[in-house]
Amino acid sequence: MSTRTKGLTGVLPASSTEASPQSAYELAFKLLTLGYSIIPVQLVPDDEILGKFKKKPLVPWAQYQKRQATIDELMGWDSILHPKYYGIVTGSVSQCQVIDADSVEAREQIEAEIGLPHIVTPSGGAHWYVEATEHAATRTGIVPCVDCRGEGGYAVVVGLGYSIQRLPHPDNLIRYDTLPECLRQGMNGRKTNRPTPDAISQGERNSSLAKIAGILRRPGLGQMEIEAALQSVNCSRCQPPLPKSEVAAIAESICRYPPLAKEENTCIYERDSTELATNRDGNVTGSVTPVAAKRNKPLSEMVGEWVRENGSGWWMARDLDTELGIQSPEDKVNRRQILSRLQDRGLIEQHPRQAKKYRYVNTQLVYLDFKGARPSSVLPLEWGLGIEEYVNLYPSNLAVVAGAPNSGKTALLLDFIRRNQERFAIYYFCSEMQGPELRDRMELFPGMTVDDWHVQAVERSVDFEQVIVPDAINVIDYLEMTTDLYMVNDHLTAIQDRIGTGLAVVAIQKKAGAVYGRGAEFGLEKPKLYLSMDEGRLTIVKGKSWAKKGENPNRLSIDFTIRDGCTFLPTSDWRRS
């Protein structure tokens, strides 16, 4: 295992895009913290008639072949470009290379030899992440239908249709010396002709693919469906494979012919006239009654209702068949025609790369009455040192107080509670103090007795997101981060997801003199307010919503002293640090 010199280390659990609600940006952020060079990627039309797309970086990416993007760059891409796909730049910058199987058949062969892939691609292929070697290069066809991404290459890792079987991690990269000899030779530029079952020789490729296309056309399959099947056969069986454009031309040519008429298409085998076969066929056809007759509703209406109920997510035609009980050949032909009509009317669209996937197109516009809307409700909060005069906080916001030891962060939080407890329900989660010590701290405040505090105090040190009280102010003192510091954003996100219309104020430890708390800049994404405290000084590192028009609060600092362990007294004016 090579030792990484970039990024933070730590072990992430295996995950899947099907099971995890994380966005493409959040997964890209996590991969960046693991030391990979990340770039945003887009899909651009390659053949608009056939609905083909190709991948292309959204930014000039030569520099990221030599260095990682910064967190600021990643955040900038997300806020300006809104990428739906991200890729890992392979080679020495990320200390990995990728084995890329282009088809389901190639994936199954490689998977049988080296195990579960890291990523399954929309076409049914897969990516395996391998430790980088001294001569890791980008090469095509290292074995049939399998490429290698090394120096000067990249592989899409996150985005619609890319299923993460196990997140690429320094600890689960495949060792190069454990790969089969044929793969290692191909990666080194010495390609081998691995035997392929049912291979189609060079002189038979066009005619064989045309025959297959003709068989698929008879029951009414469309051009995209036929081409997808031909490309798969071409990749797995043709020796060598035809150019993809030539395969597409075969599919296009066959689809100029109409499907067989229904009566011609009914029987595709010579019927067995024995008594046993007659009984068998009668039982089968008797059990498959047209679904519309069962439900006393036109199939077109049932399909339309099902499509709308499934919203904008992608679904397969077989999912529709299963849920509506579409089994008979007549119903399936009818369903295919209904989907075609819905597509012609623009009510559904077909997946750009997977012919049997569709989704509902919701064109209804919901107009925002921004002129008649009330101004956003700023929470009427009060802080020591007058922080509210520079930064606004709104319902559902998150604030972070990163404080060095003995800087006064607990005093600041208790003072915040004291100032706001009459206007809001407040819950104080404390990890350092028991009841007697907390009582003593509360009674330090001038003119306050323990009966004057209207806060619910809870002893808690872990898993705060499990006990957050929605629609209230939750003060967490403090979020302990001892290992896997890059996960701080995950913890803050989990807390914010639970606060509803309330507010969370989270304290984090930091080193004296450092700007950020534990987790560094990784904890900067979610908070709308990020304060940094050292002994005698407080800095607004991030203030998302300015309280004063034209006055940027970011990097404003103020010096202070704390009287009697509870009262904050400024010793300077606010100034730009």
Name which residue leads in pLDDT, 199 or 427: 427
What percentage of the chain carries pLDDT values higher than 70?
83
**Res 89 pLDDT > 70:** yes
Mean pLDDT within 216-245:
81
> Is pLDDT above 80 for 4?
no
pLDDT band at 111 (very low <50, low <70, confident <90, very high): confident
- State the DSSP H helix or E strand holding residue 508, giving kind and residue range, or none if neither: strand 503-509
Q: Report which DSSP code applies to 31.
A: H
Q: How does the average pLDDT of the chain come out, rounded?
A: 81
Q: How far apart are CA 507 and CA 398, in angstroms?
A: 11
Predicted local confidence at residue 20, as pLDDT: 38
Query: Given this chain, do its domains 290-360 and 384-576 carry the same CATH topology?
Result: no
Give per-residue pLDDT as tens, 489-512: 888 988 998 898 899 999 999 999
| 344 burial via Cβ count (<10 Å: 0-12, 13-18, 19+) | exposed
Q: Is 321 exposed, middle or buried (0-12, 13-18, 19+ CB in 10 A)?
A: middle
Listing DSSP states for 377-437 in one string gives: -------GGGGGGTB---TT-EEEEEE-TTSSHHHHHHHHHHHHTTTS-EEEEESS--HHH
Tokens of 268: 């595709």
Q: Is the dihedral of CA 216, 222, 223, 226 positive or negative?
A: negative
Place of tokens 């989990």: 494
- CA neighbor of 2 nearest in space, from 122, 129, 103, 106: 129
Q: Three-state DSSP class for 440? A: helix
Q: Where are the domains of the chain?
A: 24-187, 202-254, 290-360, 384-576
**Tens-digit pLDDT profile for residues 469-489:** 988 999 999 888 766 777 888
Pairing mode, strands 456-459 and 426-430: parallel
- Is pLDDT at 30 greater than 80 in this prediction? yes
Question: DSSP string of 153-170?
Answer: -EEEEESTT-EESS---T
Query: Taking 60 as the threshold, does the pLDDT of residue 50 lie above it?
Result: no
415-432: average pLDDT: 92
CB 118 within 8 A of CB 127: yes
Q: Report the first-to-last Cα separation within the chain, whole angstroms.
A: 43
Mean pLDDT of 270-299: 48
DSSP code at position 200: B
Which of the residue ranges 93-102, 177-186, 199-208, 338-347 would you say has the lowest mean pLDDT?
Answer: 199-208
Could you tell me the two tokens for 336?
């295919």
In the prediction, which pLDDT does 264 show? 39
Architecture of domain 290-360: Orthogonal Bundle (1.10)
- Percent of the chain at pLDDT above 90? 33
> Is the bond preceding 240 in cis, omega lying within 30 degrees of 0?
yes
Phi, psi of 318 (to 5 degrees): -70, -30
Between CA 249 and CA 242 the distance in angstroms is 11
Residue 540 — pLDDT band, cuts 50, 70, 90? very high
Predicted local confidence at residue 7, as pLDDT: 36
Give the position of tokens 């960046």: 32
What is the pLDDT confidence band of residue 55, given thresholds at 50, 70 and 90? Answer: confident
Q: Which residue has the tokens 């290069």?
A: 137
pLDDT surpassing 90 at residue 391: yes
Q: Which fold has domain 384-576?
A: Rossmann fold (3.40.50)
Of the listed ranges 67-76, 258-267, 315-324, 387-396, the one predicted with least confidence: 258-267
Pick from 101, 190, 191, 98: which is nearest to 153 by CA? 98
| pLDDT for 432 beyond 70 | yes
User: Per mean pLDDT, which range of 362-366, 556-560, 565-569 is the poorest?
Assistant: 362-366
- Collect all residues with Cβ–Cβ distance below 8 Å to 146 and sequence separation of at least 6: 99, 100, 101, 102, 106, 110, 183, 186
Q: Is 228 helix (H, G, I), strand (E, B) or coil?
A: helix
Contact 13, 39 (CB under 8 A): no
Q: Which residue has the tokens 């104020």?
A: 505
Of the pLDDT bands very low, low, confident and very high (cuts 50, 70, 90), residue 282 is very low
> Which pLDDT does position 386 carry in this prediction?
94
pLDDT at 376: 63
CB 416 within 8 A of CB 423: no
**Is 167 within 8 Å of 117 (Cβ atoms)?**
no
Q: pLDDT grade, residue 328 (50/70/90)?
A: confident
Whole-angstrom distance, CA of residue 468 vs CA of residue 485: 22
pLDDT band (50, 70, 90) for residue 518: confident
316 or 17, which is more confident? 316
**pLDDT given at position 198:** 65
pLDDT at 266 over 60: no
Can you read off the two tokens belonging to residue 518? 């534990």
Question: Which two three-digit tokens encode residue 137?
Answer: 């290069």
* pLDDT number for residue 311: 65
Nearest to 194 by CA among 178, 183, 202, 204: 183
**87 with 39: CB under 8 angstroms?**
yes
Residue 86 has pLDDT above 90, yes or no: yes
pLDDT at 281 over 60: no
pLDDT of residue 495: 92
User: What letter would DSSP give residue 525?
Assistant: S
**Residue pair 150/138 in contact by the 8 Å Cβ criterion:** yes
Tokens 């996150």, residue?
Answer: 158
How much is the pLDDT for 300?
83
pLDDT (0 to 100) of residue 373 = 59
Query: Per-residue confidence at 292, pLDDT binned at 50, 70, 90?
Result: low
The pLDDT-based confidence of 277 (bands split at 50, 70, 90) is very low
pTM here? 0.42
DSSP helix/strand/coil, 220: coil
CB-count burial class (<10 Å; 0-12, 13-18, 19+) for 503: buried
Confidence of residue 267 (pLDDT cuts 50, 70, 90): very low
Which pair of structure tokens corresponds to residue 347? 């009510």
pLDDT at 273 over 60: no
